[in-house]
Amino acid sequence: MRPTLRAVCGASIVALSFAALWRCASQTRIAPEVRAQIEKRHAGSVVELRQSSYYGELYDENELWLLSPHPFADTSHIVDLNGTPIHPKGQRGIVPAGSRFVIERIEFPDRSALAHRMLTTPRYNPWVYVKPAPEETHAPLENRRGFVVLLPLELETEQQVEDALAAMFAPEGDVQRWLGTRRPTVRVAIEHKNVVEGMSREELTAAWGTPTMWFVEQSPKGEARVAWYTSKEVWLVNDTVAEVKDGRPVQQAPRESVSSEGTPTTPPPQS
């Protein structure tokens, strides 16, 4: 006997209901009291962007902007049902390093957060809600409630959260003072997310963000550390930018890679 349409629809509704309940289960291992301490420590503080960042659509969330140090075309926090990466869309412009923001709140992916986040957004990442500080002109809202910075998925301890925040934000004044000591050409390059020969590794990171991977290669000038940014890679000799090339496919990466601190590491599995 074939199931009726009503029975099929009823079973589908039940399945979707269980899926929705599962999706709303807390996705953070950080204890509520620790999350509250982190929130209290940072909410209302004025900070500066360490890295020039692109802004645009927060996936399908149309009330907030996403801030990302990497081009949206090279950025993905979610995948479709086939495992294909979904990229944020609508990249609008650049917010330069040193721009001032107020941290409004830090939201971890607990039950409450997952209940109101759209399914087609990075629901399981911690979200840092920020707004431009008073008189900040580099971060237009354009009828949006504010900006969101996404922290990594795998954060499990208070220190890991603090490290992730410190990688994105600096105390007010720190980045602007540092930028004031840079060469004019480097300051302009960082502001416009360009990379120029002679940049230091720190200046490269301020312009393009933290590389996805580091490789070790041999160049005519000696051993080079290669900062890999998906579509581009930057060769540094003696921690100074020597050349920018198109990014190689990951599966062609050298067998030995190097971490951002210069320690050889095992490369990621090849797909």
pLDDT tens track for 98-117: 999 999 999 999 999 999 99
Global pTM reads: 0.82
> Average pLDDT of 164-184?
97
Q: Report which secondary-structure segment, H or E, holds 246.
A: strand 240-246
* Model confidence band, residue 26 (pLDDT cutoffs 50, 70, 90): confident
pLDDT tens track for 32-67: 999 999 999 999 999 999 999 999 999 999 999 999
Please, what is the Cα angle at 72 between 248 and 139, to 5 degrees? 135
Assess whether pLDDT exceeds 60 at residue 3.
no
Residue ranges of domains in the chain: 23-177, 196-265
pLDDT tens track for 112-160: 999 999 999 999 999 999 999 999 999 999 889 999 999 999 899 999 9
One-character DSSP codes across 65-108 = EEEESS-GGG--SEE-TTS-EE------EEE-TT-EEEEEEEE-
pLDDT in the model for residue 4: 45
CATH class of the region 196-265? alpha beta
> Average pLDDT of 211-215?
93
One-character DSSP codes across 8-69 = HHHHHHHHHHHHHHHHTS----S-HHHHHHHHHHHTT-EEEESS-EEEEEETTEEEEEEEES
Pairing of strands 146-150, 61-68: parallel
Gap between the Cα atoms of 33 and 108, Å rounded: 12
Handedness of CA 115, 120, 126, 130 (dihedral sign): negative
